[in-house]
Amino acid sequence: VPSSPPPPTSAGGDGVDERAARVGMVGGGQLARMTHRAAIDLGVELHVLTPSPDDPAAAAGASFHAGAPDDLEAMLAFGRAVDVVTLDHELVPTAGLDAVRDAGTPVHPAPAALRFAQDKLHARRGFAELDLPVPAFTAVDTPEEVERFAADHGWPVVLKARAGGYDGRGVEVVHDRDAAAQVLAHPGAWLVEANVAIQTEIAVVLARGPDGATVVYPVVETVQRDGICIELVMPARIAEPLQQQARTLADQIAQAIDAVGILAVELFVTDDQTLVINEVATRPHNSGHATIEGSVTSQFSNHLRAVLGWPLGLTAMRAPVAATVNLLGADQPVDPRTRLPLALRDPRLHVHLYGKDWRPGRKLGHVTVLGDHPDEALAAARLGAARLTAVTPP
């Protein structure tokens, strides 16, 4: 069992280490940036291991350590500089994390938990063994294997890269053997899944401490376009028993994989109102962004508290509804930073810009609006997002 940082010390004694807790986050993107914002409040020092000082978290002031997660020496030095190591993305080889842990710095999530986020086949197999709801799946190497799977489950099928895929990359719906052959020609290992008839996509975000203490956020409805999450509504507009079922399922997964920190579980609500697990992430997650304003405690604050072994904050909502819309780079150069005077005309709009330069389709930020009614909050958030990103703003 990984140890958590030492308990509170009585102050004033000899040799008492009176200083800020230091959390090391591998990765310096927007998730680390928003974690830094939460770290400032708690007086926690956030350190990030990331290639460039211009990366979003370093630019916002997290302590910058130059390096990549596949650089074992950089990982070990990073581990020595902090009290606990965590991460803001999945693409972290377990070798470095193992080495950090073996050298005495706790790593949360543990590599064994992280593997459920890194390796889709491992996750499918693990959840299936636990009798948790997953789509029919199998590992495939050849178009013939895909065809055999489709004979049982019907076309189309879904081909997924076993590792490395995110934001829709590495997920392909294929309608025949030729299309399958084209996908499998790409490098990497693949699995095939039955194509689930999806009514709604939802996500459950929870925080779990090293002692197993868990707090679960309200279920979030997620809207995807081209495999990228574009909108969130919290709480999800699905029946309460289904919400409860989703929260219980996420809690079961957290216990099963011994997640520590934020765990996000993406689920499909099928046409016949059953739940199917899509993917899990063992870190702060896009589907938790509405918690910054919508919840008493944000996912970023609770991630820090969880990995430090501190008590977790309340996940209750501060308004009936929170709607979040992601800011994706337009097809032509539009810098949301130049659009703030327009977007802020709506005095309710909460803007989060990630400090990134424009690129088409790039996640540049998100906006959140709290309200009494989902349609109204969503409309306001969409208007704000369009004002910040559209080539011709409304």
Nearest approach in angstroms of CB 337 to its own copies is 5
Write out the binding residues for its own copies, residues 279-318 only, by CB under 8 A: 296-297, 305, 308-314, 318
Amino acid making up residue 180: A
Q: Does 215 bind its own copies (CB under 8 A)?
A: yes
Tokens standing for residue 71: 């650089």
Distance CA 139, CA 190 (A): 6
Q: Does 354 bind its own copies (CB under 8 A)?
A: yes
E strands, the chain, are: 22-26, 45-50, 63-66, 84-87, 137-140, 157-161, 171-174, 190-194, 198-208, 214-216, 220-225, 228-234, 261-270, 275-281, 321-328, 350-353, 363-371
Q: Does 353 bind its own copies (CB under 8 A)?
A: yes
Identify the residue among 68, 181, 319, 379 touching its own copies (CB under 8 A): 319
Identify the residue among 199, 337, 379, 382 touching its own copies (CB under 8 A): 337
State which residue, 155 or 358, has the beta carbon closest to its own copies: 358
Identify which of 359, 301, 394, 285 has the alpha carbon closest to the alpha carbon of residue 44: 301
Q: Does 60 bind its own copies (CB under 8 A)?
A: yes
Q: Does 15 bind its own copies (CB under 8 A)?
A: no
**Residue 348: Cβ-neighbour burial (10 angstroms; 0-12, 13-18, 19+):** middle
Nearest approach in angstroms of CB 120 to its own copies is 33
Q: Does 61 bind its own copies (CB under 8 A)?
A: yes
CA 253 to chain centre: 15
Identify the residue among 100, 134, 260, 351 touching its own copies (CB under 8 A): 351
Amino acid making up residue 80: R
Nearest approach in angstroms of CB 343 to its own copies is 9
State which residue, 89 or 350, has the beta carbon closest to its own copies: 350
State which residue, 101 or 339, has the beta carbon closest to its own copies: 339
Q: Which residues contact 28 (CB under 8 A, 6 or more apart)?
A: 48, 49, 50, 51, 52, 55, 56, 57, 58, 62, 64, 88
State which residue, 152 or 376, has the beta carbon closest to its own copies: 376
What 3-state class would DSSP assign to 29? Answer: coil
Nearest approach in angstroms of CB 342 to its own copies is 5
Identify the residue among 103, 197, 239, 342 touching its own copies (CB under 8 A): 342
Distance CA 225, CA 108 (A): 31
CA 187 to chain centre: 25
Q: Does 216 bind its own copies (CB under 8 A)?
A: no
Q: Does 62 bind its own copies (CB under 8 A)?
A: yes
Q: Does 332 bind its own copies (CB under 8 A)?
A: yes
Q: How many residues of this chain interact with its own copies, rule: CB under 8 A? A: 61
Q: Does 40 bind its own copies (CB under 8 A)?
A: yes
Buried b / exposed e over 204-232, threshold 16 CB at 10 Å, is bbbbbbbeeebbbbbbbbbeeeeebbbbb
Instruction: Write out the residues near its own copies by the rule CB under 8 A.
Output: 7-9, 11-12, 16-21, 33, 36-37, 40-43, 60-62, 215, 296-297, 305, 308-314, 318-319, 332-342, 344-345, 347-355, 357-358, 365, 370, 391
